[in-house]
Structure 1
Amino acid sequence: MTGEMNILPLPQTTPTSARPQVVSGELLKLLTPIEGLITAGQTAKAEVLSLKQADQTFQLLLKVTLDSGRQTTVQATSNQPLPQGTSVAVTQPSAGNLAITVQQAIASSVATLTRLDTAQLPVGTLLQGKVLTSQVLPQVPGQPTVFRSMVSLLNTALSGSTLSVDSPQPLRIGTLLSAQVQDTQTLKFVPLSSRQEQLAVTQQLLSQTSRQGSLEGLLKLLQNLPPSNQTSSDLRAAVDKLLAGLPDVHQLSTPKGLALALASSGAFLESKLLTGQNPALAPDMKGDLLKLIAQLTPSLPASTNLGAIIAANTLAQAMPSFVRNALGMLGQVSAKPPPTGFPLPERMLQSADGEDDLEHLLRLTAAAVSRLQSHQLSSLEQTGVTSDGRLMSTWQLEVPMRNLQDIVPLQIKFQREDAPDKDPPQERRDEREPKQPLWRVELAFDMEPLGPMQVQAQLIKGSLSSQLWAERPYTASLIESNLAALRARMLDCGLNVGDLDCHHGKPPQGPQTRLEQRWVDETA
């Protein structure tokens, strides 16, 4: 997660030698009513040992020290969070409640900060902390939503201190976060160690790949789904909505139609959620698959072993949160891993013994969600910095398209490379040309009667080069004979066309045979 959070300006504290200011009247509800814990008219000292949020309330563990010196611990709930280590004076108006006064004097065990001392923590210092609480503040008309959290610091000399911060995005309770000091009242989120993030993405990608299944098998089954007593009207509506959102070849041949198909592919579902968009207002492949799973689950017989069937879809429910954290990597300077194989191989799941139609459909749907998530994770894995310092961003996705009566999954990968930002000599800075990003596009599809094909293209400064591969000899010969017409149409579009070739077979794989090495002169 990236962004800024503000340290709240807490009330000014008084010196420890002065009489502490108190705030009276706060009631804590005891989880277990205790009669006569504190005698009438007396107070006792207490310290907050732990703080845990439960929905909109907070559970506290208090260590109470009576006047006699006896100590006991009690559990209570509060509407307001009290940081760990806070000293309070308590009375007991009834068996189920405690009335408290919060001591505002700073003691050695209480380190509630009102500001950051940049002499002690210079700008740029990395702070690490654990999120204790998270609340959404009342919405102010015309203003963005603000989330308030309490964060316990884990490093520097302020270890053990508690910060109360406001942020534009909610902080998940119990998570660790890192932030850089910007000034006395502002911190900026930074992602976790790039190595840790990359390892997490790679591990999730491996598990997703083993569970994924091709979209083609699911979509064909949905097209031919027979009427049955098991298929409810809501399930039918979910299937119809999913199939109706599939684009056709004509739609993908227009810029607007292609942009809509890419946005609806499911690769950007989490991004829509992050920006507050309602994905239900527009078709979304991944969202529609998750809705289909929700409709299928109650329709299964009670005797069905749901645990085994839905095990493949466990990460699907946790994926939005995972990707929200991982999306913080995009655009960050992290070591670029070896490229993941493209395209994803075809994988058809057969019906298991004793499995009815709805069980098989649920398993195929879960595998389709895993396939879309494999593309998302591949995008994250391939986003980073190349060995020569170029920043690479990758978007990999899959769009099922209609071709007459067939549905053809189209796999697409976009890559953008930006040159490293190295300052030129001062005398040449004004003469320097604006940097142009290098774009690469890869396509993979299997459309009859052409058969399996792959396309790789590279675009920089309006100059396009492309290589095409066809696995069928007839298709390769047909494309080769039409390359001149293809070049002419590209020139009519205002492009400068470089290499334009077609080959029989599959593209070579591996870092030593990557496509860009054919065009070193063009990208120098």
Structure 2
Amino acid sequence: MKLPNGQHPIAPPAPATKTPATHSETGQPRPETMPLSARQQLDQLQLANRATILARVAEVINRQGAVNTEVLLDVRGKPLPVKADIGATELKPGDWVKIMRAGNELQLLGKLAATPEATITRALAQRMPWQQSLDSGLAKLVTALERGSLPDLKPGQLPAAPSPQPLPEAARQAIETLLARLPASQTLTPGAGSQTGMAQQMRQWIEESGLFAESRLVRTPSPTLPDLKLAIGRMITGLLAEQGGDTTMAFNRLTPLATPGLAQAPLQFPQPLAATPVTGSEPVSVGQTLRILAGMLNRITVNQLHSQILSARAGGDAAAPVSAMLLDLPWVTPQNEPRVAQLRMEHYKDREESSSKSRDARRAAVSEWRLNLAIDLELAGALNFEVSLRQQEVSARVWAEKQDTLKQVNEELPLLRRSLTNLGLDVTELECRRGSPSYPATKLEHRLVDTRA
């Protein structure tokens, strides 16, 4: 790799003369206005001779008729244009390469293989802009279930006012089965958590959220498993079967419908809760329904990939969780209106204790579980729960948007304390605050060094 070296050579000092305002005392142009030579550029990067460094390919420029490829590298946060004869090595933007300084040139030592985190990041970035919130998507599916869907216009057909047609039976059954399994808000009453069977229902609610669809299929290879992601897949299959032709290719060509709020802050979790109730709309066409389902599928997949990103960073960041799970949990109101509860579960370990040389100390390493739940109830409004469990010690904090809800939660705190104590837990902190907590947003980045040993 050669750096462009067509710049003007550095001029020798000129005789002392009256210096114009735009020149230095030596009569030369100011250094910041002079183009830098290849050596100066490498020296500025503090890259010594025979030293190696990692760089990211920012852009590959293939000029017509050019023998070499022009590559723009990102080296230590600074752009560095080079002319490269890379041979059989295929470079594309985003690749990481190892280079070495040889005099005033750079030698390409090799391209780094894609790390699992980089692969996940790339897949996540592709789906982030095309997410459909599950509550609004389910509301439109309820409308399609009750009122049918409009036929798609064929090429050359003039728009008219066609009457809605019933959904295909397979898609209809998939929607009915899904809605029948969604929990209702009547079960979310104070003290219900201590009732027999409630813990198992919560476990089932989480298990069927779609986050674990692939792992459940591996254990039980049945496409009829009660699972949100698999149910969406069955709806898509039922709708495509009525259209005939190459259904898979037709679905892949669809542009998923996205929820604006998710596009503005795609990696904020939990997302700000909707200020207005989610309602259905007028019947849409089969094509529009498929685009809604594609966006919902992207939302679940983004949560899956986002969880993997957070877990993959545990080895390189002491503040990162060992494992993380981000879930959207749909539920329905007494009026059969879909809503979503957002759950964030993270597992942390005490790294100082777990890194001890003593085997007993490693076994005794303290783990901490943190749970964040965001939900918007009909009358109570937006509520956020923060729970931390460290061995037998538990602390909880509740955030309420409404003043009346804040008062009611404070009245229920003694019941919550007794319920936790009955489980054998030591309650260290329990309080309710007005407003809502703030959560950090995930930033996609490339980690060059794997610090896990």
Q: Distance in 2 between matches of 1:346 and 1:469?
A: 13
- State the SS of the aligned residue for 1:205: helix
Alignment of structure 1 residues 403-482 onto 2, 5 Å:
403-405=333-335, 406-420=337-351, 421-424=354-357, 434-482=364-412
Q: Distance in 1 between matches of 2:330 and 2:234?
A: 18
Q: Do residues 232 (structure 1) and 168 (structure 2) align?
A: yes
Residues 453 and 207 (structure 1 numbering): CA distance in 2 closer, same or farther, change over 3 Å?
farther
1:464 deviates by 0.6
From the two aligned structures, give the one with the greater strand fraction: 1
1:496 deviates by 0.7
1:498 alignment partner in structure 2? 428
1:489 deviates by 2.2
Q: Does the Cα contact within 8 Å between 1:436 and 1:461 map onto a contact in 2?
A: yes
1:436 deviates by 3.0
1:262 deviates by 1.4
1:374 alignment partner in structure 2? 302
Q: Does the Cα contact within 8 Å between 1:269 and 1:286 map onto a contact in 2?
A: yes
Q: Distance in 2 between matches of 1:470 and 1:289?
A: 33
2:139 alignment partner in structure 1? 220
Residues 194 and 214 (structure 1 numbering): CA distance in 2 closer, same or farther, change over 3 Å?
farther
Q: Do residues 341 (structure 1) and 260 (structure 2) align?
A: no
- State the SS of the aligned residue for 1:271: helix
1:255 alignment partner in structure 2? 199
Q: Does the Cα contact within 8 Å between 2:394 and 2:428 map onto a contact in 1?
A: yes
Residues 215 and 389 (structure 1 numbering): CA distance in 2 closer, same or farther, change over 3 Å?
closer
From the two aligned structures, give the one with the greater helix fraction: 2
Residues 477 and 238 (structure 1 numbering): CA distance in 2 closer, same or farther, change over 3 Å?
same
Q: Distance in 1 between matches of 2:252 and 2:355?
A: 54
Residues 508 and 217 (structure 1 numbering): CA distance in 2 closer, same or farther, change over 3 Å?
closer
1:432 deviates by 8.0
Deviations 1:182-208 (A, max 9, x none): xxxxxxxxxxx8973223323332332
Q: Distance in 2 between matches of 1:430 and 1:437?
A: 15
Equivalenced residues, count? 288
Alignment of structure 1 residues 90-101 onto 2, 5 Å:
none
Q: Distance in 2 between matches of 1:351 and 1:309?
A: 25
Q: Distance in 1 between matches of 2:279 and 2:243?
A: 19
Q: Distance in 2 between matches of 1:223 and 1:389?
A: 42
Deviations 1:392-439 (A, max 9, x none): 1011112212332333211111111123332346xxx66887223110
1:309 deviates by 6.7
- State the SS of the aligned residue for 1:312: coil
Q: Does the Cα contact within 8 Å between 2:395 and 2:428 map onto a contact in 1?
A: yes
Deviations 1:157-176 (A, max 9, x none): xxxxxxxxxxxxxxxxxxxx
Q: Distance in 2 between matches of 1:455 and 1:216?
A: 20
Alpha-carbon RMSD: 3.6
1:460 deviates by 0.6
Counterpart AA for 1:199: A
Q: Distance in 1 between matches of 2:273 and 2:233?
A: 21
1:281 deviates by 4.4
2:125 alignment partner in structure 1? 206
Q: Do residues 287 (structure 1) and 230 (structure 2) align?
A: yes
Q: Does the Cα contact within 8 Å between 1:412 and 1:444 map onto a contact in 2?
A: yes
Counterpart AA for 2:142: Q
Which runs of 5 or more structure 1 residues have no equivalent in the other structure? 1-192, 314-338, 512-524
Q: Distance in 2 between matches of 1:261 and 1:455?
A: 18
1:510 deviates by 3.7
1:369 deviates by 0.9
1:311 alignment partner in structure 2? 255
Residues 391 and 230 (structure 1 numbering): CA distance in 2 closer, same or farther, change over 3 Å?
closer
Q: Distance in 2 between matches of 1:390 and 1:341?
A: 16
- State the SS of the aligned residue for 1:272: helix
Q: Distance in 2 between matches of 1:419 and 1:195?
A: 30
Counterpart AA for 1:446: D
Q: Distance in 2 between matches of 1:282 and 1:461?
A: 34
Counterpart AA for 2:169: S
- State the SS of the aligned residue for 2:438: coil
Deviating runs (4+, > 4 A) in structure 1?
A: 304-309, 345-352, 429-433
Residues 246 and 350 (structure 1 numbering): CA distance in 2 closer, same or farther, change over 3 Å?
closer
Residues 346 and 196 (structure 1 numbering): CA distance in 2 closer, same or farther, change over 3 Å?
farther
Counterpart AA for 1:257: Q
Q: Do residues 278 (structure 1) and 221 (structure 2) align?
A: yes
| TM-score after normalising by structure 2 | 0.56
1:480 deviates by 2.3
Q: Distance in 1 between matches of 2:280 and 2:339?
A: 19
Counterpart AA for 2:355: K
Deviations 1:53-84 (A, max 9, x none): xxxxxxxxxxxxxxxxxxxxxxxxxxxxxxxx
Q: Which residue of 196, 207, 210 corresponds with 1:266?
A: 210
Q: Distance in 2 between matches of 1:265 and 1:504?
A: 29
Which runs of 5 or more structure 2 residues have no equivalent in the other structure? 1-111, 149-163, 258-265, 442-453
Q: Distance in 2 between matches of 1:390 and 1:424?
A: 22
1:231 deviates by 1.9
Alignment of structure 1 residues 55-74 onto 2, 5 Å:
none
Q: Does the Cα contact within 8 Å between 1:213 and 1:364 map onto a contact in 2?
A: yes
1:265 deviates by 1.0
| TM-score after normalising by structure 1 | 0.49
Q: Distance in 2 between matches of 1:482 and 1:367?
A: 39
Q: Does the Cα contact within 8 Å between 1:442 and 1:454 map onto a contact in 2?
A: yes
1:244 deviates by 2.0
Q: Distance in 2 between matches of 1:206 and 1:448?
A: 34
Q: Does the Cα contact within 8 Å between 1:309 and 1:359 map onto a contact in 2?
A: no
Residues 194 and 505 (structure 1 numbering): CA distance in 2 closer, same or farther, change over 3 Å?
farther
